Amino acid sequence: MNQLDQQVARRLTRFYVLALTVIAILSISGLLFIRRMLSDHDDDSRVVNVAGRQRMLSQRLTKLAVLQTTGLTTTDTASFTALLTTWSQSQNQLRNGVLRMEKEYAVRKSRQLDTMFSQLEPVFQSMYQSLVRISDTRARPEEKKAALQTVLRAEPQFLEQMNAIVFRFDQESFERVRLLEQIEWVLTVATLLTLLIEGLLIFRPVVTHTKDVIRKLTESDEALRKANENLAVANTELENTNRQLVITQRELLWASEEKYRLQMVEETVRSAALLEGQEEERRRFARELHDGIGQMLTGLKLRAERLKVIPFPEPKHRQQFDELCDLIYDVIQTTRQTSHNLMPSVLSDFGLGAALQFLAEQTARASGIDVAFEGSTGEKRLSPAVEIGLYRIAQEALNNAVKHAEARKIRISWQNEDAKITLSVEDDGKGFQPKIGLKERQIPVIKGLENMRTRARLLNGEFTILSKPKKGTKVIVHVPDTNHA
């Protein structure tokens, strides 16, 4: 029964807290809304004061204009220019909807007020331009007198319309206060209705439900004890079943791990065979380009050069022949470049360091990007598989940096120390987020990264990409040196 009391108490507490929370939300919402309305009303009071001050300033400016034009003296020490500036700024701020004083006050206007300000604007501009002319020391007396007549004619109309604007501001502010009172009454009624609804729909059903629960729990106490005895027997059987299930799960897990290892070995063999086939096809295609098409193009160039000594009947024929020779030379250079990209001879002749340095220089000339190489070109030779694998990784990383990173500087470095080969390609390009970057990049880039990762895995190495947006990208490969003694 102790647990039953606690359950009933917890349930009643939850409903009670829920009811208090709803009431608190209504009360706080009402307070916040009323405070906001009071703050807006403070802005309205300041706006009414400033609008009323505009009438006083216009009368004072008119008086000073009369005194200044007629040359009479006055005890008013206010600056005519300062008053005119204040009057003009206040009028423009009232019209534009923001008063900038010790802080910004919002000028809330209805369409009627906007219309009244639009009607007042020509009168205001007429008075303002005339007052500016009166304050101008370079203006002639006749001009000042004419301006004064304009001011005297416009002032009554300005005062009349400004009075209407002030009264309209005051009326709209009063209407907002009336609205605030109505909203306050609505919130009060809503709070009282909430209390009534909670009493009828929450507390009363909770009491009834609690009685039913206590009765049902008392009746089911004996049945629960019998069920517990049966459950103890079932638990014993379940423990035996669980032990068998654990043994079966371990066997299944071992079989799954073995299957995964076999799949990984099969994937590695397939990838190695695919990459080896690609490299062999590149070697064959490079030889065919160099020994076949390259030789034929070279022969074509030699034959064309022999024809240079033959005179042509027209100069344009000579020009076309020269352009043909240049085109043959460009085709030869492109063929050589393609053959070198497929299988660089410098890699097989001088090793990885020299090949990387040549790759950096070649890329710098072709792209105009500052590509630097750091590392020794006279290191001992590595195994052919390691050299071609690392070269392809560097080639792919450099290609990605040139095409996609918008880099200004790229650095290729490699070193062979303590039986460990380290290759890195770093750029100062736009970078990407490694976790989501592969989804955002294009498919060729994804395949390029996967090819680099696969090549590093086939060399028993580690492949790492470090990148951040606008911080550049760095590709790092660590491969063990199998030739290290």
CA angle centred on 438, ends 432 and 442, rounded to 5°: 100
Q: What is the pLDDT of residues 318-367, one digit of tens each?
A: 777 777 777 776 777 676 666 566 657 667 777 778 888 888 888 888 88
Query: Could you give the 3-state DSSP secondary structure of residue 74?
Result: coil
Most confident stretch, 74-83, 145-154, 301-310, 327-336 = 145-154
- How far is CA 71 from each of CA 65, 74, 141, 485, rounded to the nearest angstrom? 10, 10, 10, 111
Residue type at position 422: T
**pLDDT at residue 378 in the model:** 61
Q: What is the pLDDT of residues 49-93, one digit of tens each?
A: 888 888 888 888 888 888 878 777 666 667 888 888 888 888 888
d(Cα 428, Cα 224) in Å, to the nearest integer?
Answer: 72
pLDDT at residue 465 is higher than 60: yes
pLDDT at residue 142 is higher than 60: yes
What is the H or E stretch that residue 203 is in? Answer: none
- What pairs with residue 249 in β-bridges? none
d(Cα 171, Cα 182) in Å, to the nearest integer?
Answer: 17
- What pairs with residue 474 in β-bridges? 426, 466
Query: Tokens representing 129?
Result: 């331009």
CA angle centred on 177, ends 175 and 181, rounded to 5°: 115
**pLDDT at residue 276 in the model:** 59
- What pairs with residue 475 in β-bridges? 425, 465
- How far is CA 123 from each of CA 50, 239, 284, rounded to the nearest angstrom? 18, 97, 92
What is the H or E stretch that residue 467 is in? Answer: strand 462-467
For 345-480, CATH gives 3.30.565.10
**pLDDT at residue 55 in the model:** 84
pLDDT at residue 443 is higher than 60: no
pLDDT at residue 277 is higher than 70: no
Q: Between 372 and 15, where is the model more confident?
A: 372
Q: What is the DSSP pairing of strand 370-374 with strand 409-417?
A: parallel
Q: Indicate the pLDDT class of residue 145, thresholds 50, 70 and 90.
A: confident
**Average pLDDT taken over every residue of the chain:** 77
Lowest mean pLDDT segment, chosen from 170-184, 244-258, 292-306 = 292-306
Query: Tokens representing 126?
Result: 């007429």
Q: What is the pLDDT of residues 200-247, one digit of tens each?
A: 776 677 667 777 777 777 777 788 788 888 888 888 888 888 888 888
**pLDDT at residue 155 in the model:** 86
Terminal Cα-to-Cα distance of the chain (whole angstroms): 80
Query: Could you give the 3-state DSSP secondary structure of residue 187?
Result: helix
Output the pTM of the full model. 0.39
Q: What is the pLDDT of residues 101-115, one digit of tens each?
A: 778 888 888 889 889
For tokens 């022949």, the residue is 321
d(Cα 456, Cα 268) in Å, to the nearest integer?
Answer: 11
Q: What is the pLDDT of residues 114-133, one digit of tens each?
A: 898 888 889 888 888 888 88
Q: Are 148 and 66 in contact (CB under 8 A)?
A: yes
